[in-house]
Structure 1
Amino acid sequence: MSDHLTEEEQLENLKRLWKEYGSTVIVSVVVATGGYFGWNFWQDQQQAKAEAASDFYEQLVTTAGEGNATDEAHRATISHLAEQVKDTDKDSAYAAQAALYAAQAAVTGEDLETAKGQLNWVLENSDSPALQEIARLRLARVLASEGSYDDALSLVANQPATGFAAEQAEVRGDILRQNGDNAAALTAYQSAIEKVGTEQQQRRVVLQMKIDNLKLANSAEEPSA
């Protein structure tokens, strides 16, 4: 009899506990299960976005390599594919690289406004210091080609991203030379060649040619004794 009463008491205790805490247990289970499936769904979505962006980017690279960027229809295709990549996954490296491709095609077609828009998009949306630096240097060249020398120089005035010191100094030299400041351009080129790695022989040759040409130009400008 005592055993039977004990079982009844245990059953009553279980009923009471369920009444008091059952809803909390159910909510906890639902939240945990929902979180698990929600996380998996989010991961699946991210994977699908990455794969779609990769596919569009591959099409863009293939298109860019096969056509002629001086052709308006070809540039339009590159621009369309770049927008597809950006719209699909704007936070991916594919998106920034696609914008750089579109900017390059636009420059070839002398559509500088589109080029500036694509390069500014990289600066505003990419979290890659290297890709941002590439966009910044290219934008500086575009601005210089328009005659906006002060704006161009402001983009190459600060500390560059790691690995871009020589390239930044060279771009600064090119802009200064375009603006007629040969002395400052020469200083920038000399700074660039000092920063170029020993394995980059071709870069060193090009920079040395720029330095030699400026020295000749400066000598020709000096009045004879």
Structure 2
Amino acid sequence: MAFDLQEQEQIADFKAWWNSWGKFLATAVILALLGYLAWQGWHAYQKSQAEKAGLIYARIEGAIGGDAAKIRADADLLKQDFSGSAYASRGALFAAKASADAGQLKEAEAQLNWVVANSDEADLRDAARLRLAAVQLDQKQPDAALKTLGGAESTGFAGLVAELRGDILLDKGDSAGAREAYKEALSKLPKDAPNIQFVQVKLDALQKV
């Protein structure tokens, strides 16, 4: 098929343009396609990982009240393979409770320390601090327990932190400090908090001393 002069010039211009830009554009298209496929693959991997972590966490929930060692093993698996997931910290909290209920306070302490150091959620870190301080108090470590409570971050836990601080100070023989802590707890706990009457009872008992 013969081309006229104008068509031949257009073909020549296209060939020149292709030699200058065509390979670049082809490479860009390939890179964009690879990026899209990688993005799709990453999300598929993330979904798969979340499903696996969810199954392990469900196993932990279903085992509450059972063998503390098995619960810890699953919690450790979450921490090892899915440490960035929300399941890992929650699994560690369950494992800490199971260990504490079994009287294995050192194991409980290790799980709670992990949550404080690794959770991305301030509320979970403070929940772990509260439980950790209680475990430390049970181990006759009141100063360590006070230090743990001193790291609390969330105002939502302020009332519970103050109450536990009062318990610790009372254990140390500091009745005046305990009274102030219980007063602070009463001022920061919600009026419908289930423990507010018990805090009042503890404060009333100290007022009579």
Q: Deviations over 1:87-120 (max 9, x none)?
A: 3421222111100011111112222221121111
Residue 61 of structure 2 corresponds to residue 41 of structure 1: no
Contact 2:166 2:177 in 1 (8 A): yes
TM-score of the superposition, structure 1-length normalised?
Answer: 0.86
The residue aligned with 1:55 is 55
Contact 1:116 1:139 in 2 (8 A): yes
Residue 111 of structure 2 corresponds to residue 129 of structure 1: no
Q: Deviations over 1:59-79 (max 9, x none)?
A: 1101115x3xxxxxx011101
The residue aligned with 2:85 is 92
The residue aligned with 1:114 is 107
The number of equivalent residue pairs is 208
Structure 1 alignment gaps of length 5 or more: 68-73, 219-225
Cα drift, residue 207 of structure 1? 0.8
Cα drift, residue 208 of structure 1? 1.5
Contact 1:160 1:168 in 2 (8 A): no
From 192, 196, 200, the counterpart of 1:204 = 196
- Give RMSD over aligned pairs: 1.8
Contact 2:122 2:153 in 1 (8 A): no
Cα drift, residue 158 of structure 1? 5.0
Structure 2 alignment gaps of length 5 or more: none
SS at the partner of 1:163? Answer: helix
Q: Which residue identity is paired with 1:205?
A: Q
1:180-191 equivalences in 2 (<5 Å): 180-191=173-184
**Structure 1 stretches (4+) deviating beyond 6 angstroms?**
none
1:1-225 equivalences in 2 (<5 Å): 4-65=4-65, 67=66, 74-158=67-151, 160-200=153-193, 202-216=194-208, 218=209
Q: Which residue identity is paired with 1:15?
A: K
SS at the partner of 1:155? Answer: helix
Contact 1:104 1:115 in 2 (8 A): yes
Contact 1:103 1:114 in 2 (8 A): yes
Q: Which residue identity is paired with 1:157?
A: G
Aligned partners of 1:92 and 1:214: how far apart in 2?
Answer: 44
Aligned partners of 1:159 and 1:80: how far apart in 2?
Answer: 28
